[in-house]
Amino acid sequence: MIPVVGVEDQTIAVLGLGRSGKATAAALAAGGANVIAWDDGNDTREAAAADGLQIVDLTKDANWHGVTTLITSPGIPHLYPKPHPIIAKAYELGIPVDNDIGLFFRSYATAGWDEFDRAPRVIAVTGSNGKSTTTALIHHILQETGRPTQMGGNIGTGVLSLEPAEDGEVVVLELSSYQTDLARALTPDVAVFTNLSPDHLDRHAGLGGYFAAKRRLFAEGGPDRAVIGVDEPEGLYLAGQMSMSPADDRVIRVSSGQKLDRAAWSVFARKGFLSEYRKGRQAASIDLRGITGLPGAHNHQNACAAYAACRAVGLAPRQIEAAFHSFTGLPHRSQTVRELNGVRYVNDSKATNIDAAAKALQAFDRIRWIAGGLGKEGGIAALQPHLDRVTKAYLIGHSARDFALEIGQTAYEVVDTMEAAVARASAEAEPGDTVLLAPAAASFDQYPNFEKRGEHFTALVEGL
């Protein structure tokens, strides 16, 4: 646990008592704060009270007396579509609102660091797609090269549940827009922006608000190095904002598909090869084509971002390349489950939106595509240009019949359930085919989350 600093004898209110909320309450108490807590769910409140938390009804004005700060969980709206009533009350009373990310960045560094030979560092990763894989890949590379490292944030351990820093340690954090939007302190040593595509637009009042939430990690965080994907206009803009001149190598530009040989420092992937350029000259090259855990152009972009972040903390190209080959990927993200009778089965249950599904479809040939679930606004018609590699689609869930109307001339079968989809796809697949779960839809019609959907697919495939 990382005790929160600067809160001794203060009354701090915590809103939301899920995993991060309970960890935050414990870290605040460890820092000497008087913690009061509230959650909208009665069962959650009762469980927290049983764990010893002081439950105080923050819907009542009288209970705000003496509160100096409100700490809210990331999933609770603080501005759009409208602030949660308790957050709105804090605004009205002039009480600062923060989250666990802000508390982490103001508490991680301690006076004990003066005794270390190498100061610990923080790499923070944000973006729309690929940030979990990029975060996990950076963490894996650091582990493989013997650097002390921890991983947390939106993946793995909550930030305040991490252990205090070791000499030379690198903490790798995945940060969502929900987390970066509100944090009052953001001070990573290396900040990574993977890419941008429309997501969470209601929470941020549109694409501009969504990008602004991501941008805070850079504009307000002031990282020593900024690793920025420049395949979208927003990334190009952000790289320009962070650079003092074309020769400024504090910004490492990253691309999948573009040759970037004019920037002061760049890492890009083309035709399956990663290249690092510095001051117009190639510094390193890695063949990514045979790396099973990083299939497709979208994972090559993740590899470039992870490579750049690891170079920024002093790792050598050959160290990074060796670690790439032992990376197995994350569950539910282009995860090869098994190969059976010459057929590859891939679980990309995390591909819940159009952009992620398009990238998954571009990563494989001769695809038997399992898609569907609870469709999102706009449908999947935009995927038609990416369906040339699909031999047949097997459509499941609430939006299966809607999807059937939007995939053009692609052969399909409405099978409704995952069991039927896996059975039909495996029965019809031929050697060299890939059975790909890339739903392009949310899971909530049939599963509590995308993880459970992917686990069901995996269990069915392993049972073939």
Give the number of domains in the chain: 3
Q: Report the C-alpha gap between 144 and 139 in whole angstroms.
A: 9
pLDDT tens figures, 9-62: 999 999 999 988 999 999 999 999 999 999 999 999 999 999 999 999 999 999
* 314 & 427 share domain: no
Phi-psi region of 6 (alpha: psi -120 to 50; beta: other; left: phi over 0): left
34 flagged as catalytic = no
The band of 312, judged by pLDDT with boundaries at 50, 70 and 90, is: very high
Before 385, cis peptide (omega within 30)? no
Pick the catalytic residue: 99, 154, 299, 302? Answer: 154
Domain assignment present for residue 1? The answer is no
200 flagged as catalytic = yes
Q: In degrees, to the nearest 5, what angle opens at C-alpha 57 toward C-alphas 55 and 61?
A: 140
Domain containing 116: what range? 106-325
* 132 & 49 share domain: no
Q: Assign residue 353 the CATH number of its domain.
A: 3.90.190.20
Q: What is the pLDDT of residue 331?
A: 87
131 flagged as catalytic = yes
Q: Are 407 and 387 in contact (CB under 8 A)?
A: yes
Q: Are 272 and 300 in contact (CB under 8 A)?
A: yes
* 160 & 67 share domain: no
| Amino acid identity for residue 288 in this structure | L
Q: Report the C-alpha gap between 172 and 314 in whole angstroms.
A: 15
In 10 A of CB 409, how many CB atoms?
7
* 49 & 120 share domain: no
pLDDT tens figures, 251-262: 999 999 999 999
Q: Are 218 and 193 in contact (CB under 8 A)?
A: yes
Is pLDDT of 292 > 90? no
**pTM: predicted TM-score of the whole model, two decimal places:** 0.86
The band of 274, judged by pLDDT with boundaries at 50, 70 and 90, is: very high
* 211 & 277 share domain: yes
* 150 & 181 share domain: yes
* 69 & 174 share domain: no
The domain boundary residue, chosen from 63, 98, 133: 98
Annotated ligand binding at 255? The verdict is no
Q: Assign residue 256 the CATH number of its domain.
A: 3.40.1190.10
pLDDT tens figures, 106-149: 999 999 999 999 999 999 999 998 899 999 999 999 999 999 99
The domain boundary residue, chosen from 263, 291, 325: 325
3-class DSSP assignment, residue 252: strand
Annotated ligand binding at 89? The verdict is no
Annotated ligand binding at 130? The verdict is yes
Q: What is the pLDDT of residue 356?
A: 87
Domain assignment present for residue 6? The answer is no
Token match 């049972």: residue? Answer: 463
* 186 & 292 share domain: yes
Query: Tokens representing 141?
Result: 């590379």
3-class DSSP assignment, residue 28: helix
Annotated ligand binding at 133? The verdict is yes
* 455 & 377 share domain: yes
Domain assignment present for residue 129? The answer is yes
* 293 & 422 share domain: no
